[in-house]
Amino acid sequence: MSRVAIVTGGTRGIGEAISLALRDMGYTVAANYGGNDAKAQAFTEATGIAAFKWDVGDHQACLDGCAAVADALGPVDIVVNNAGITRDGVLAKMSFDDWNEVMRINLGGCFNMAKATFGGMRERGWGRIVNIGSINGQAGQYGQVNYAAAKSGIHGFTKALAQEGAKVGVTVNAIAPGYVDTDMVAAVPAPVLEKIVAKIPVGRLGQAHEIARGVAFFCSEDGGFVTGSTLSINGGQHMY
C-alpha cells in the first residue's frame, strides 16, 4: 500500500519540487494550495498529482481538507508543511495584520495540519512530518520580524512535537532553506539579490529540487532514526 503525503503550498516553487520528489518515491501525493486555481489545474494536468484547495491558516479548513484527502486517497502518513507567505517591512511600518497573517499561515498552519493528522499517524505507528523553516528563522533578517519569528517558531515546534511522536514511530523534522531560485526570491530587486548571492559561499542561489531531496530523506524509511532535527540547506550562508 502506497503512503499518502500532503504537501502544503505544493503546486508551486519549492512545494512543487517536493510534491514531485515524493511522487517519484512511489508515494501518493496530494498538493494543497491556497488560491491560484489556474496554476493548480495546470500542475495537476502536468504531473498527475491531485490538488486540494484550502487555507492552512484556517483550523477547521485543515481538518476538513485532510479528511477529504483521506477519503479520496487513504490515511495520511506524511505531511510537509511548506505553505508560507511574506509581508515584509520594518517594525515601524508593519501593521498588526501584516504580523498576524504571517504568523497565522506560516506557523499556525503547522499546528493546524499536525492537529489534523498526528493522531492518525500515532495510531498506525508510522508517520513523517517535515516543516519548512528558513535561514531567516535561524539568523534573523532586517524587515522580517514577522517572517523570522514564524520560521523560528517552526524550529521550536518541530523539536517539541518530535518528542511526542518518537516512541510511536512518528518523526518530526525541519528543513531550513537558504535563498532558493523561486518566484518569491525573483521578486527581490536585482541589486539586493546580487548582495545576497555575494554572501553565499557557494556563489549561487539554491534550486528547489535541492530542498526536495532533503525532504525526501526525512520522509523515507531510512529516515526513521532522525527526529527533532533541522537540516540547513543554504550554500553555507549561515553555519552554527
Q: What is the CA radius of gyration of the chain?
A: 17
CA distance 226 to 240: 19
> Would you call 147 a catalytic residue per the annotation?
yes
- Nearest CA to 14 among 228, 170, 207? 207
* Residue 205, amino acid: L
Contacts of 122 (CB under 8 A, 6+ apart): 165, 168, 170
- Smallest Cα–Cα separation from 185: which of 174, 197, 176, 175? 197
| Residue closest to 230 by CA, chosen among 147, 161, 165, 144 | 161
Q: Count the Cβ atoms, other than its own, within 10 Å of residue 221.
A: 9
Active-site choice (142, 147, 179, 240): 147
Q: What one-character DSSP code corresponds to residue 9?
A: T
Per the CB < 8 A criterion, the answer to whether 61 and 69 are in contact is no
Number of H helices, E strands in the chain: 10, 7
Residues 6+ apart with CB under 8 A from 118: 127, 129, 161, 164, 165, 170
List active site positions.
147
